[in-house]
Protein backbone atom coordinates (compact mmCIF):
# COMPACT_ATOMS: atom_id res chain seq x y z
CA UNK A 1 0.00 0.00 0.00
CA UNK A 2 2.75 2.46 0.92
CA UNK A 3 4.62 1.84 -2.33
CA UNK A 4 1.48 2.43 -4.38
CA UNK A 5 0.85 5.71 -2.53
CA UNK A 6 4.51 6.68 -3.07
CA UNK A 7 4.18 6.13 -6.80
CA UNK A 8 0.91 8.07 -7.02
CA UNK A 9 2.36 11.02 -5.11
CA UNK A 10 5.49 11.06 -7.26
CA UNK A 11 3.37 10.97 -10.42
CA UNK A 12 1.53 14.03 -9.06
CA UNK A 13 4.87 15.83 -8.67
CA UNK A 14 5.48 15.37 -4.95
CA UNK A 15 8.91 14.74 -3.48
CA UNK A 16 8.48 11.55 -1.47
CA UNK A 17 10.84 10.38 1.26
CA UNK A 18 10.30 6.84 2.51
CA UNK A 19 11.38 6.42 6.13
CA UNK A 20 11.33 2.64 5.96
CA UNK A 21 12.11 0.58 2.86
CA UNK A 22 13.65 -2.42 4.63
CA UNK A 23 12.72 -4.55 7.63
CA UNK A 24 14.76 -2.41 10.02
CA UNK A 25 12.86 -1.08 13.01
CA UNK A 26 12.38 2.67 13.28
CA UNK A 27 10.01 4.10 15.85
CA UNK A 28 7.54 6.88 15.10
CA UNK A 29 9.79 9.49 16.71
CA UNK A 30 12.64 8.50 14.41
CA UNK A 31 10.37 8.79 11.40
CA UNK A 32 9.20 12.22 12.52
CA UNK A 33 12.84 13.30 12.85
CA UNK A 34 13.47 12.28 9.23
CA UNK A 35 10.47 14.38 8.19
CA UNK A 36 11.78 17.41 10.12
CA UNK A 37 15.31 17.07 8.72
CA UNK A 38 13.88 17.05 5.20
CA UNK A 39 11.66 20.10 5.90
CA UNK A 40 8.54 18.10 5.01
CA UNK A 41 5.18 19.78 4.49
CA UNK A 42 3.27 16.56 5.10
CA UNK A 43 3.97 13.36 7.06
CA UNK A 44 1.91 10.26 6.28
CA UNK A 45 2.29 7.22 8.50
CA UNK A 46 0.65 3.95 7.46
CA UNK A 47 0.24 1.28 10.13
CA UNK A 48 -0.84 -2.33 9.69
CA UNK A 49 -1.01 -5.05 12.30
Domain membership of residue 43 (yes or no) is: no
Domain membership of residue 21 (yes or no) is: yes
Quick: pLDDT tens for 6-29.
Answer: 999 999 999 999 988 888 888 889
Domain membership of residue 47 (yes or no) is: no
- The number of distinct structural domains making up the chain is 1
Confidence of residue 48 (pLDDT cuts 50, 70, 90): confident
User: Is pLDDT above 80 for 49?
Assistant: no
Which residues have CB under 8 Å from 19's CB, separation 6+?
Answer: 26, 30, 31, 34, 35
Confidence of residue 4 (pLDDT cuts 50, 70, 90): very high
Domain membership of residue 27 (yes or no) is: yes
Distance CA 26, CA 45 (A): 12
Domain membership of residue 6 (yes or no) is: yes
Domain membership of residue 42 (yes or no) is: no
Residue span of the structural domain in which 19 resides? 2-37
* 2: nearest Cα among 19, 24, 23, 27: 19
Amino acid sequence: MALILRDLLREAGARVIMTRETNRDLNLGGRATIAKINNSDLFISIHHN
